[in-house]
Amino acid sequence: MNRWSLRAQNLGALAVRPKVPVGVTPADVVHAENKWRLLRYRPRHLRFKTPVLLVPSLINRHYVLDLMPGKSLAEWLVERGHDVFVIDWGTPGDEDRYLTFDDICDRYIGRALRKAAAYGPSGKAHVLGYCLGGTLAVIHAAVRPEHVASLLCIAAPVKFGGSAGGQDSLLEAWTRLSTFDVNSLVDAFGNVPWQLMQSAFHMLRPTMGLSKAVHLVDRAWSDEFLDGFLAIETWSNDNVSFPGECYRTYIESIYRKDELAMGTFALSGIPARLENIHCPVFAISFEHDSIVPADSAKALTDRVGSKDKTHLHLPGGHVGAVVSKAAADRLWPKLSDFWAQRDDLRNALPPAPAVAH
């Protein structure tokens, strides 16, 4: 059967095509609290001493990092010999509107990190933060470095334009509009509905839907392509609302005032200064990322106190470059090599400053 016939056949059968399995790498729940869980992917043959904790975005499902067999970062890392953990943020209920930024970024991530780190001999874990999960990981590492062996951030915004210099991204510009009343939004809805946030992301690239449709028709002859396409679509339409109080702080302090880059943000009352991060740091940005500009991600390596720091700018977009077939060749080996080369580092904390008496 030629490609034209396969294309017509597959497009005609889309409505009854079996659902693609997502997030199926075997894992066990090793901690659960409120709506979130810490999953440990079942090790196969551990080669490395230091566990890896994956911190996904707070408003997306964790299984983007375990998309489907053959296109799963988690599966690939397990097969490579890493001990891999991931935070599944779950679905916030109405009562979670009062969860603060400190609750999530300090207490929740702190407990997940301590639990994962306990599986390694040094009591530390490598931390990988993706998108907003990377921003949370950076802030946590700046305040609670004790259990962080290294910090690896993929498409993670750190500098939010404005007072930090540089040109605002569209998201940054929109959040600074006087007509965007974040307090009224949170007061009215409690948790910020995922539909509102998804609409904003769609407006970043208004022709994305049409582009996807053209790409789908063009490649519909390939079952492998269709399975990957439908898996990503399943994930991208399975979004999570943002706990209200946490969102209020995120927009007002991080986006509008750029407090993280300015060095004025505090987590649980403790200054979250990037220069306090001394562990190995690896920041990755993507050329066609419409959500996180390269300058925003690169600000991490520009400002941390670590001497072991690298910024890597790669082709691709915000999602595709992380979960595509090409990612297994282009991106994932770089992550594993970064951790492997630092597997025995103890990353001792810098000496405490002298206290005047």
| Of 83, 102, 289, 295, catalytic | 289
Which phi and psi angles does 86 have, rounded to 5°? -145, 145
Give the Cα separation of 335 and 67 in Å (integer): 17
Nearest to 3 by CA among 213, 220, 226, 216: 220
Catalytic status, residue 153:
no
| Of 131, 153, 246, 279, catalytic | 131
Give the Cα separation of 346 and 145 in Å (integer): 12
Catalytic status, residue 279:
no
Catalytic status, residue 311:
no
What residues does 85 pair with on adjacent strands?
40, 53
| Of 62, 140, 147, 318, catalytic | 318
Nearest to 289 by CA among 322, 330, 318: 318
Length of the chain counted residue by residue: 357
SS3 track for 40-55: EECCCCCCCCCCEEEE
Residues 39 and 88 sit within 8 Å (Cβ to Cβ): yes
Give the Cα separation of 294 and 311 in Å (integer): 10
Q: Could you tell me the CA-to-CA distances from 149 to 122, 339, 341, 345 in Å, in that order?
A: 9, 9, 12, 8
Which residues are known catalytic residues?
131, 289, 318
